[in-house]
Structure 1
Amino acid sequence: MAPEDFDPGPLILPPEDPVEWPGWRETLRAWREEKRREIDLSSYERPEFAWMRDGAVCGMAMLFDEEFRDVDAYLERHQREFGGLDALVLWQAYPRIGIDRRNQFDHYRLAPGLKGTVERLHERGVRVFMGYNPWDTGTRREPVPDAEAIGRIAGEFGFDGVFLDTLPGAPEDLRAVLDRVKPGIVMESELALAVEGLPHHHASWAQWFEDGEAPGVLRNRWLERGHTMHLVRRWDHDHSGELHLAWMNGTGVLVWENVFGSWNGWSDRDKSILRAMSAVRRRYAEQFGRGDWEPLVPCTLEGVYASRWSYGSVTLWTLVNRKGETVEGSALPIASDGTVRLFDLIRGIELDHAHLRIPGRGIGALLALPSRLVDDEFLAFLSERRQSPLSDGGRTELLPTRLSPLPGGDAFEPVVARFRARECGEYGPAPFSSAYPALHFERRISMLAS
């Protein structure tokens, strides 16, 4: 297929027949070369935006969440359970906004010690996004256009990025405003970003992308490797699909457990997968960011798929097991030959051949490394990986709901409330059975009160 006839969507699915994959990869390469001649992507080489290349794991924090009051404890939990955060969105208004005339920007101004919080996040190596809600039109108006108001908030509190809620791209004048505030403020769209938006948006969400059995290729990531994408399915209990797609595309995910007041905690298995992904990705950032990427290379294990990443003399394969049970065997037709040694980076062991053991819905990582590069520091990394095996554990415990007795008695009585609700909750489990619930629905809750 000629590049001009190829018009891919945000997620490019491969042909069903693997025999057709080599031709499909050639089409992808030709299309990328053609598009890169048409679109100026030079902004990705600007040093002020380099931090976003390493921003693969992004968290989403409700700014007034009780857990977030202790920023260090919040980050330490995410380090322990997820392998750490590279960036964090501080979500301020929805669903609290609307009870009075205060607008989305007021909610940042009202947050106690917000500037110090952002500074502390920076000290801990975490970049910070503010949110922009374009639908906030019924509250108090700012004396300046929204783009200018965003710039003022970003400058006042030191934000590094702007998350564009409900938008496929930024308002036309926002990039120029942010560049005046400080260099390197990243814009990230919630909805799928068109390729024409890549020069000015250095990140985007990949939300509710429908993948196939063989993982697809993220179009914008394929076109520009410096563009970071965050896979997210906020209401799913099983996040292995997002993790698989991110791993095969060398990009990141969004960690979001408190979803507007509903708790949707990650399973121990999914947390362990992300910890492993993060450790490998951070060590081999050049492989993922600048190396030669070959998607869906031949793999001999049934239900397992692989991408190859080559940079310099080092080659890395990322693999995913689509099956629900453990798969074990020879995955690739390669072997250690003395000058090049093979390592399973997930299990932290050396291999003679590419014999891998990948748990159900788990991931693999195979490294071909010249013997001269096997040093004490690398062996220490392998030792750390051996201490962090993948888990097959179930759901995480819910955060406890705290009930405080009121003066005058300790007895609690049930209180029942019925109301019209949006996609928000009261720190219990998410009440939705579908991936994306209706925004408005009738809700009935029963809680104890004194």
Structure 2
Amino acid sequence: MLQYDQNTKRAVIRNNTLQMTLNFADGILIEECSNLLTGDLQNPRRELFNLTFMGGQYSSRDFAVGEVLTCQDRVHQLLTVPLENEALGLSIRVHFLNDKKETISVIVQIRDRYIHGVPYELFLHSPFLAQLSMRGEGDRYYYPANAVESPDGTPLLKMMRESFYNNDVKLPLVCCDKGGKSGFAVQFPSKADLDDCGAIQNRNMQFSKIASAEELHTHQILCNPDNTYNDTFEFEITGLSGGWVEAFARFRQQWESGYDFSEYEKEDLKWFNEKFLHQFSFLYGTEAYDAENQKIDPEKLLKEGEAFGGFDTVTLWNQYPRLGVDKRSQWDFYNDFPGGMAAFKEAVDAFHAKGVQVFMPYIPWDAGAEESPETLGDHFAGLLEQTGADGYQLDTLGDIPDSFREKCDAVRPGLVMTTQHHPDKKHPIEKITTSWDEFWDTRPMPKVDIFRFLCPRHIAPVISRWYRKEDKDLLIQYSQFGAAPLVIWQDIFGRWMPFSAEQKAAIKGWKEVYLAHRLTYQCALPTPFYPVAPREVYCNLFPADSGSEQIYSLYNDGDLPFEGALCELFVPGSTAEVILGGGEASVKNGKLYAQLPPKEVVHISVKP
């Protein structure tokens, strides 16, 4: 619904979740923005924006309001408010777009006529967003760049890595009541690929970096308007009845809608989903190579893997850092290896006989002047054809050319490409079905990888190569808390960095649990940091697609054991069982109760 009264200068916009009442008698005043699912009024008398420009402070009241326009089609309703300040040379268009379902979008376009002949800095602040609330005292906030934090403010939900280029994983600002239910989700859409305030006109990128209450309350978004209304600020607000859980699910659905995941549905690639423990060996080391007989020794490597619960895949690395001494390429090293390519084929066959798949390494930066993408692709596919290996570990990469994939598909189906880093753009995300979750900081626990929950079909084993005893303990907990597989890498360029006997036993036990409940852990709709009552306890939720069980992955960050009510169940259940870690669990009146030891990951399976 959209109603505008020209006489009173008031407008009401309503859909299934929201009501926004606006007053244009003196600038733009948001008289209310209420969640209709609650039946009461929220966010009364909020200014939409104010500006800092040419040394002065201005609000919408400093602008003359032009003719308010309304229009609609079968999908949307639009209300546009023009604002003008002749003295400043600024014109603003504010659009309120109602999708008639659940979301109202607010779009602000700014035009600067350069009254002094040159552009000045213009900063925008939104009091409405800075003061956004549900019930007031006790409201819970999840900030776009720091949805959940440790007691010292460290972000616990690890976002995608970025540098000069941005990805599209931009979480909403979420505000909900202390019960974690009713509230609002505010999304800041941005199609900009660059993180450059001068090159882009969509200012929402700056809102996506807000990580604290202080940053929200004091934000000043730098705008660079010109004479074309190009500079924009936009947000989409939605009413919630399920708090953070609903907001994250909505964001994931919106994010997924822009992707084609058909590559992940190929049956010949799904063998990787059934693997848990991945091993990385240098062939110039001692783990997988018998120096006396100058041959790869699969039996020795797999025997050592039994203490971990058994390796499911191995990566046989045979060149870097030995490249660069002469003109030999990475491909030459396979032929120069004792026994040549036939020795690799013999080793791969031996691993396959034990049910273990083999990855070969690819070094993208070892490309000579005489090589081209075409010849590299031929070498790339040819190595797998000659050795019978099952795929590649793509060093330093987050993507490969389509031609490489096509050449491998011509060799045989089912060849898996795993990159060292998460793919972070549309094409590689659609084509690269697995990657390492590497280069993260263990401390503090519990930390989780957002991509593991945003794109759960993309399996990303956990690895960190240089960790010693204490951090290896946390690495295992990180794997457990986020329900992710592991890569075992102990020979780090000649430095031996082993796991302890206790750590190996912990990994072995975790592997048994993971594989027994694999389909639940690999569910389509997991939630990171599912809300729980005790402040010192954190939870990830994994509800099986079949409805057969829910697994609550819990970490008690306190120094003392916890006992009591944890949370409301995601869906009704009658039985609770601890399947990983210590403690006890039960279900009472639709809530999960547990006894949790300190500093330990505990998994509780709840079934109907």
Select which of 378, 385, 390 maps to 1:155.
385
Select which of 239, 244, 247 maps to 2:477.
244
The Cα of 1:287 is off from its aligned counterpart by 0.3
| Residue of structure 2 equivalent to 1:366 | 604
| Residue of structure 2 equivalent to 1:355 | 594
Select which of 540, 548, 558 maps to 1:313.
548
Residues in 1 aligned to 2:515 and 2:409: alpha-carbon distance in whole angstroms: 28
Select which of 286, 291, 305 maps to 1:66.
286
Q: Does 1:10 align with 2:164?
A: no
Q: What aligned pairs does 1:182-193 form with structure 2 within 5 A after superposition?
A: 182-193=412-423
The Cα of 1:106 is off from its aligned counterpart by 2.4
The Cα of 1:340 is off from its aligned counterpart by 3.5
| Residue of structure 2 equivalent to 1:85 | 311
Larger relative contact order (CA 8 Å, sep ≥ 6): 1
Q: What aligned pairs does 1:14-25 form with structure 2 within 5 A after superposition?
A: 23-25=243-245
Which whole-Å deviations, capped at 9, do the CAs of 1:139-164 have from their partners, x for residues lacking one?
A: 99699611110100011111112111
Select which of 563, 587, 594 maps to 1:329.
563
When normalised by structure 2's length, the TM-score is 0.53
Q: Does 1:230 align with 2:452?
A: no
Residues in 2 aligned to 1:298 and 1:142: alpha-carbon distance in whole angstroms: 52
Q: Rg bigger for which structure?
A: 2
The Cα of 1:16 is off from its aligned counterpart by 12
| Residue of structure 1 equivalent to 2:329 | 103
The Cα of 1:107 is off from its aligned counterpart by 2.3
| Residue of structure 2 equivalent to 1:341 | 575
Q: Does 1:293 align with 2:526?
A: yes
The code of the aligned residue for 2:282 comes to: M
The alpha-carbon distance between structure 1 residues 9 and 173, as it changes in their structure 2 partners (threshold 3 A), is farther
Q: Does 1:169 align with 2:399?
A: yes
Alpha carbon RMSD of aligned pairs, Å?
3.6
The alpha-carbon distance between structure 1 residues 40 and 115, as it changes in their structure 2 partners (threshold 3 A), is same
Which whole-Å deviations, capped at 9, do the CAs of 1:367-405 have from their partners, x for residues lacking one?
A: 1235xxxxxxxxxxxxxxxxxxxxxxxxxxxxxxxxxxx
The Cα of 1:350 is off from its aligned counterpart by 7.2
| Residue of structure 1 equivalent to 2:431 | 200
When normalised by structure 1's length, the TM-score is 0.70
| Residue of structure 2 equivalent to 1:384 | none
The alpha-carbon distance between structure 1 residues 31 and 275, as it changes in their structure 2 partners (threshold 3 A), is same
The Cα of 1:26 is off from its aligned counterpart by 3.2
The alpha-carbon distance between structure 1 residues 253 and 347, as it changes in their structure 2 partners (threshold 3 A), is closer
The alpha-carbon distance between structure 1 residues 14 and 216, as it changes in their structure 2 partners (threshold 3 A), is farther
Q: Secondary structure at the match of 2:465?
A: coil
| Residue of structure 2 equivalent to 1:125 | 355
The alpha-carbon distance between structure 1 residues 106 and 276, as it changes in their structure 2 partners (threshold 3 A), is same
Answer yes or no: is the 8 Å Cα contact 2:315–2:359 preserved in 1: yes
Residues in 1 aligned to 2:444 and 2:285: alpha-carbon distance in whole angstroms: 38
Answer yes or no: is the 8 Å Cα contact 2:422–2:437 preserved in 1: yes
Which whole-Å deviations, capped at 9, do the CAs of 1:164-218 have from their partners, x for residues lacking one?
A: 1111211342111111111121111112311411221011122213477574553
Answer yes or no: is the 8 Å Cα contact 1:345–1:366 preserved in 2: yes
Q: Secondary structure at the match of 1:27?
A: helix
Gaps of 5+ in 1: 371-450
The code of the aligned residue for 2:550 comes to: T
Answer yes or no: is the 8 Å Cα contact 2:159–2:450 preserved in 1: yes
Residues in 2 aligned to 1:347 and 1:143: alpha-carbon distance in whole angstroms: 49
The Cα of 1:128 is off from its aligned counterpart by 1.3
The alpha-carbon distance between structure 1 residues 244 and 351, as it changes in their structure 2 partners (threshold 3 A), is closer
Answer yes or no: is the 8 Å Cα contact 1:61–1:91 preserved in 2: yes
Which whole-Å deviations, capped at 9, do the CAs of 1:49-99 have from their partners, x for residues lacking one?
A: 11121233211111232231332232122221x222222211110122233
The code of the aligned residue for 1:190 comes to: Q
| Residue of structure 1 equivalent to 2:507 | 274
The alpha-carbon distance between structure 1 residues 326 and 141, as it changes in their structure 2 partners (threshold 3 A), is farther
The alpha-carbon distance between structure 1 residues 38 and 141, as it changes in their structure 2 partners (threshold 3 A), is closer
Q: Secondary structure at the match of 2:365?
A: coil
Which whole-Å deviations, capped at 9, do the CAs of 1:326-350 have from their partners, x for residues lacking one?
A: 6353463589xxx933222125897
Residues in 1 aligned to 2:175 and 2:434: alpha-carbon distance in whole angstroms: 32
Q: Secondary structure at the match of 2:431?
A: coil
Answer yes or no: is the 8 Å Cα contact 1:56–1:228 preserved in 2: no
The alpha-carbon distance between structure 1 residues 317 and 111, as it changes in their structure 2 partners (threshold 3 A), is farther
The code of the aligned residue for 1:84 comes to: G
The alpha-carbon distance between structure 1 residues 52 and 98, as it changes in their structure 2 partners (threshold 3 A), is same
Residues in 2 aligned to 1:264 and 1:2: alpha-carbon distance in whole angstroms: 54
Residues in 2 aligned to 1:194 and 1:284: alpha-carbon distance in whole angstroms: 29
Q: Which deviates the most, 3-12 or 204-213?
A: 3-12
Residues in 2 aligned to 1:151 and 1:245: alpha-carbon distance in whole angstroms: 35
Gaps of 5+ in 2: 1-102, 108-143, 146-157, 162-168, 182-241, 290-296, 588-592
Identity %: 25
Which whole-Å deviations, capped at 9, do the CAs of 1:213-267 have from their partners, x for residues lacking one?
A: 5745534333332211122221121124433333333322221100111111123
Q: Does 1:31 align with 2:251?
A: yes
Answer yes or no: is the 8 Å Cα contact 1:87–1:127 preserved in 2: yes
